[in-house]
Each structure stands twice: as structure tokens, then as C-alpha cells.
């Protein structure tokens, strides 16, 4: 079911919607505060009757939505909804996407993190003109079960289009999911800045704020989960939920924590880890995903909050006001039901082998400076790196400046080996890695198949579209 945000928000004011979403008021206590229950994005309906085939229709078009207090904002949306409807598929599925661009300008649809043929990648090499249609077709690889997302990637306009509301989740499921049966929540994080007339504030590069946005990446003071401000979810004490968290912000880094609760980090961009990791907070840079088991270890009636803790990714001169403040993202309300007895959770999620680093064909160094990769600005007509099909390579990412840059490679999942020479504890599949200021990160990658030209770039979208991007040709 795909429901436009405008419709949902209109309904939110009616007693019908509230009656369905709110818990029953407790007898003999004051009425509970009205709150906005977290809504799951709709799922793209499958139009195919073929086995193992998922055929969906996606249209990108302008739409009026209500994002801040009763005002109307022009957004750009997939199928009328912000976030767009979820593409929910299984490993081995053949996926056919019939896409229509009803925006006033060219766009693409990029399946961020998914291993698909070059022509289907939705990179700036394959623009879809305003008014045009395109069909994307790919097979979802086995072993890729995880949380991904789709977003536009046109030359020089990615940040604008994502900030206007074009982003949606892509969930790949495995037949043998070790966490099957655990209640799931999709948590898509985004932020935005608005002008007094409630339009999205996207100033030109030549303005003072435009220059700051170019430096920091476009960051907003209003934080959203699934395009809702500080929504709530309910949990029963003793139960566990599996959260698939996507950072769809153009630049913001989230340091996620639920005070009073330890998080069980179970997966990254490319799916589940081998072993869960207990942690107090999880850093999620732009475009990264995390799978987390949230254990309701509190008592019935408790209230907890998913927060973003301060994280200094900035150059001191352009830190946005309030950067050092903790921000609330989501309220977790424990129901009054007695605690359920906690179920045992698996300690091994799947088997992940390290890629063989004794067979490395090349080690490449990518030096990151403010706006440049290896001193160059992106040129669609140039190939920056050339690799051989089947080769295993080590990439060394050196951040030479005083600001974090999250590095993303299209088409292939990699395994981070070490950060500043300190080895990571277990192999994790990732397509984006945050490289903190003045740090060096190394990853290993294997170019199993799919010849073509693949982008690699900083996923601070202002940096990406202003040239902090290069092209890897695999052949």
C-alpha cells in the first residue's frame, strides 16, 4: 500500500486515524499526551505473476506534503510519498522497475549498495530526461540480504533532488534469515531546513549559506524519521525489535543511542554480521545503514528515546549552530503489559569469510581533500582508476583534511580491514565507510563481475556533485 504523505497527514487530524494509532487510554489516569505514531512507508506492489519476479512502477513527481506544523511544502517524491515506498525483494528475485520521470528536470534512480549491472546502476552515465521513461532490470544476488536504499543520482543535482524528498528503502530478504520472526521497524533518517514560507531551503552556491552548505554538506535543523518529526513507537517490556536504519540525509552524521539501553548491532550496509556487537552508540554517516536489535530491557510504562548524540565531523569555522546538542529522534513507549520473558538471540548470524588479501592485484590510494579525490575534480569523460574483472584490490583512503568524508563505492561491497592501522574485529560488508578527519581507512574489495564504469565518491552530496567523485573502470 502506498499512501501519499499529504493524505496521511490529513488523516492524522481525524479521530479515525488517532483511534487506530493510539493505545487505549488507561482507566483512572489522566489522558496520555497525543503523539504521532511512527508510520512505515508503503511497499511497492508487485505487478508480476511470474515466479521469483518482482515488477514495480515508480514515478518521480512534484507533490505537496505537510512536513512542518500544518504548513504545506512542495516536495519531489516517488509515487507521491516521502519517503518513497519500499522495494521489498528476496535474494534471487528478478526485479523489473518501470520508472517514469515526471519531474521538471532529468534524474536517475540509483540502487545504492546493490550489485547490479553497470547499465542498471542509475549513475550519472544514464540520465532519464524530464518526461521520459526507463526500465531497470536486475537479479538480486544471493548473499546480499540487507538494507539498501534508492535515490536520484543525476549529474550536479543529486543533493537538490534528495533534499526535495526523493529517497526510499530497498530491503533484500534471505530465505534463511536467522532473525526471522522478530518484529521489524524501518527507520529512515533525514533532515531538512525550511524557509519561513515552509519551502525547502536550498540556496544557490553563491549565497553565504550556499557556501556553508557546500563546505559542510546541506544540513537541516529539523530532523525526521520516515518524514515525521519525533514520532513514537510502542514496545512491550522483554521483547526485541529489529530496526533497519537508513541515513538518507544529504550530509548529517548520526551518533545513535537509546540512553538506558545497550544496542545489539547486527548488520551494516551489506547485511548481517557474523556476530552481534554490543554497543552504546552507533555512528551512521550519510548513506550508511545499520541493523540493530533493540531489546526492551525497561519496565512496563517506561519511556525511552532514540537520540542522535553530538558528533564533530566539521571544520570549526563552519560548524552549524547547535551541532553539539543531543537531538531526540524517536520516542519508545513501553506498554503496560507485563514483561514478556526474553527470547534467546542467536550469537552467530551467518558465516562471512574475509576476502583473500594474499591475492591482491593492486593497492590504490585515494587521498581525500576538501572537494577533491587525488587532487582532481570529477570528469565524466575521464577514467580515474582501472581494474581487471575478478581482481581483488586493497583501497587505502587517506583523509588529509580536518573534516570527515564518508567514502562510497558503487556496485561492489567491500570489507574494511583497518582504521589508522588498527584491524577491525570481524568482516562486515559495506559500501560506504566514514573516513574521519586526518584518518586512514583500508578496505579490500573483489570485482567479481559486471564490467563498466563505477563511481566512487564522498557521500556528502554537496561534495559528490561538486566534484569529490571519481570513476573506476572494471573490464
Those residues with Cβ within 8 angstroms of residue 344's Cβ, 6 or more apart along the chain or in another chain:
none
Q: What is the DSSP string of 59-123?
A: EEEEEEE--STT--EEEEEETTBSSEEEEEEETT-EEEEEEEE-SSS-B--EEET----GGGS--
> Quick one: 159 or 408, whose CB is closer to ligand C2O?
408
The grid cell for 300 is 512496563
Decide: 308 and 254 in contact? Cβ < 8 Å. yes
Residue nearest ligand C2O, Cβ-based: 112
Min separation Cβ 261 and ligand C2O, Å: 30
Is residue 453 close enough to count as binding ligand C2O by CB under 6 A? no
Decide: 95 and 140 in contact? Cβ < 8 Å. yes
Min separation Cβ 340 and ligand C2O, Å: 38
Min separation Cβ 112 and Cu ion, Å: 4
Residue list 272-291, contact with ligand C2O (CB under 6 A): 287
Is residue 153 close enough to count as binding ligand C2O by CB under 6 A? yes
363 burial level (CB within 10 Å; 0-12, 13-18, 19+): exposed
- Please, where are the H alpha helices in 390-469? 461-465
> Quick one: 252 or 463, whose CB is closer to Cu ion?
463
Min separation Cβ 88 and ligand C2O, Å: 19
DSSP letter, residue 128: B
DSSP letter, residue 323: T
Query: What residue 417 binds from ligand C2O, Cu ion, none (CB within 5 to 8 A, per partner kind)?
Result: none
CA distance 54 to 33: 42
Q: b/e per residue, 168-205, with b = 16+ CB within 10 A? A: bbbbbebeebebeebeebbbbbbbbbbeeebebbbbee
Those residues with Cβ within 8 angstroms of residue 329's Cβ, 6 or more apart along the chain or in another chain:
189, 223, 225, 230, 254, 256, 305, 306, 307, 308
Of 236-244, 310-318, 394-402, 408-416, which segment contacts Cu ion by CB under 5 A? Answer: 408-416
Among 174, 455, 468, 472, binds ligand C2O (CB under 6 A): 455
Min separation Cβ 158 and ligand C2O, Å: 7
Residue nearest Cu ion, Cβ-based: 458
The grid cell for 337 is 503489559
How many residues touch ligand C2O under the rule CB under 6 A: the total is 10
Query: What residue 405 binds from Cu ion, ligand C2O, none (CB within 5 to 8 A, per partner kind)?
Result: Cu ion
> Quick one: 178 or 467, whose CB is closer to ligand C2O?
467
Query: What residue 287 binds from ligand C2O, Cu ion, none (CB within 5 to 8 A, per partner kind)?
Result: ligand C2O
Min separation Cβ 289 and ligand C2O, Å: 11
Is residue 112 close enough to count as binding ligand C2O by CB under 6 A? yes
Question: At 278, which helix (H) or strand (E)?
Answer: strand 271-279
Query: What residue 458 binds from ligand C2O, Cu ion, none (CB within 5 to 8 A, per partner kind)?
Result: Cu ion
Min separation Cβ 407 and ligand C2O, Å: 11
Residue list 410-449, contact with ligand C2O (CB under 6 A): 410
Q: Is 161 helix (H, G, I), strand (E, B) or coil?
A: helix
Min separation Cβ 471 and ligand C2O, Å: 11
Of 11-19, 107-115, 233-241, 306-314, which segment contacts Cu ion by CB under 5 A? Answer: 107-115
Among 159, 252, 457, 463, binds ligand C2O (CB under 6 A): 457
Among 5, 21, 96, 110, binds ligand C2O (CB under 6 A): 110
Min separation Cβ 122 and Cu ion, Å: 9
Decide: 352 and 429 in contact? Cβ < 8 Å. yes
Of 67-75, 207-215, 305-313, 461-469, which segment contacts Cu ion by CB under 5 A? Answer: 461-469
> Quick one: 244 or 410, whose CB is closer to Cu ion?
410
Is residue 164 close enough to count as binding ligand C2O by CB under 6 A? no
DSSP letter, residue 228: B
Decide: 199 and 234 in contact? Cβ < 8 Å. no
Query: What residue 159 binds from Cu ion, ligand C2O, none (CB within 5 to 8 A, per partner kind)?
Result: none
Write down the number of H helices and E strands in the chain.
Answer: 5, 31
Query: What residue 327 binds from Cu ion, ligand C2O, none (CB within 5 to 8 A, per partner kind)?
Result: none
Min separation Cβ 363 and Cu ion, Å: 22
Among 81, 387, 458, 472, binds Cu ion (CB under 5 A): 458
Q: Residue for cell digits 515488477?
A: 55
CA distance 186 to 171: 10
User: Which residues make up the interface to ligand C2O (CB under 6 A)?
Assistant: 110, 112, 151, 153, 287, 408, 410, 455, 457, 459
Amino acid at each position: 500500500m502506498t499512501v501519499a504523505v499529504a493524505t496521511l497527514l490529513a488523516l492524522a487530524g481525524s479521530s479515525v486515524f488517532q483511534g487506530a494509532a493510539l493505545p487505549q487510554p488507561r482507566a483512572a489516569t489522566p489522558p496520555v499526551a497525543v503523539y504521532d505514531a511512527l508510520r512505515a512507508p508503503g511497499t511497492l506492489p508487485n505487478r508480476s505473476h511470474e515466479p521469483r519476479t518482482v515488477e514495480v512502477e515508480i514515478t518521480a513527481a512534484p507533490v505537496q506534503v505537510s512536513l512542518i506544523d500544518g504548513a504545506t511544502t512542495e516536495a519531489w517524491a516517488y509515487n507521491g510519498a516521502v519517503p518513497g515506498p519500499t522495494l521489498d525483494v528476496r535474494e534471487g528475485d528478478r526485479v523489473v522497475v518501470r520508472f517514469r520521470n515526471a519531474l521538471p528536470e532529468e534524474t536517475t534512480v540509483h540502487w545504492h549498495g546493490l550489485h547490479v549491472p553497470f547499465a542498471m546502476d542509475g549513475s550519472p552515465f544514464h540520465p532519464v530526461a524530464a518526461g521520459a521513461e526507463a526500465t531497470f532490470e536486475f537479479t538480486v544476488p544471493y548473499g546480499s540480504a540487507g538494507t539498501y536504499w534508492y535515490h536520484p543520482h543525476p549529474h550536479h543535482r543529486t543533493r537538490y533532488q534528495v533534499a526535495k524528498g526523493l529517497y526510499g528503502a530497498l530491503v533484500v530478504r534471505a530465505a534463511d534469515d536467522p532473525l526471522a520472526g522478530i518484529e521489524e521497524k524501518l527507520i529512515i533518517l533525514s533532515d531538512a531546513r525550511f524557509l519561513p514560507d515552509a519551502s525547502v531551503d536550498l540556496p544557490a552556491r553563491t549565497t553565504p549559506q550556499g557556501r556553508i552548505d557546500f563546505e559542510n554538506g546541506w544540513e537541516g535543523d529539523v530532523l525526521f524519521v520516515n518524514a515525521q518529526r519525533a514520532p513514537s513507537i510502542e514496545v512491550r517490556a522483554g521483547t526485541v525489535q529489529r530496526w533497519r536504519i537508513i541515513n538518507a540525509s544529504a550530509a548529517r552524521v548520526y551518533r545513535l543511542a537509546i540512553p538506558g539501553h545497550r544496542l545489539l548491532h547486527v548488520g551494516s550496509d551489506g547485511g548481517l554480521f557474523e556476530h552481534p556487537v554490543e554497543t552504546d552508540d552507533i555512528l551512521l554517516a550519510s548513506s550508511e545503514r545499520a541493523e540493530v536489535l533493540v531489546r526492551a530491557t525497561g519496565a512496563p510504562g517506561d519511556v525511552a528515546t532514540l537520540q542522535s548524540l553530538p558528533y564533530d565531523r566539521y571544520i570549526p569555522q563552519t560548524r552549524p549552530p547547535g551541532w553539539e546538542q543531543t537531538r531526540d529522534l524517536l520516542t519508545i513507549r513501553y506498554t503496560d503489559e507485563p514483561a514478556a520473558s526474553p527470547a534467546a538471540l542467536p550469537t552467530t548470524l551467518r558465516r562471512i569469510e574475509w576476502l583473500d588479501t594474499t591475492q591482491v592485484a593492486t593497492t590504490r590510494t585515494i587521498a581525500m581533500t576538501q572537494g577533491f579525490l587525488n587532487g582532481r575534480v570529477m570528469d565524466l569523460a575521464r577514467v580515474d582508476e582501472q581494474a581487471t574483472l575478478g581482481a581483488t584490490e586493497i583501497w587505502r583512503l587517506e583523509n588529509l583534511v580536518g573534516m570527515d568524508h564518508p567514502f562510497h563505492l558503487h556496485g561492489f561491497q567491500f570489507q574494511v580491514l583497518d582504521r589508522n592501522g588498527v584491524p577491525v574485529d570481524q568482516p562486515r560488508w559495506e559500501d560506504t565507510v566514514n573516513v574521519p578527519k586526518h584518518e586512514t581507512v583500508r578496505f579490500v574489495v573483489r570485482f567479481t563481475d559486471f564490467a563498466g564504469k563505477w563511481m566512487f565518491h564522498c557521500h556528502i552530496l554537496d561534495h559528490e556533485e561538486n566534484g569529490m567523485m571519481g570513476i573506476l573502470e572494471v573490464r
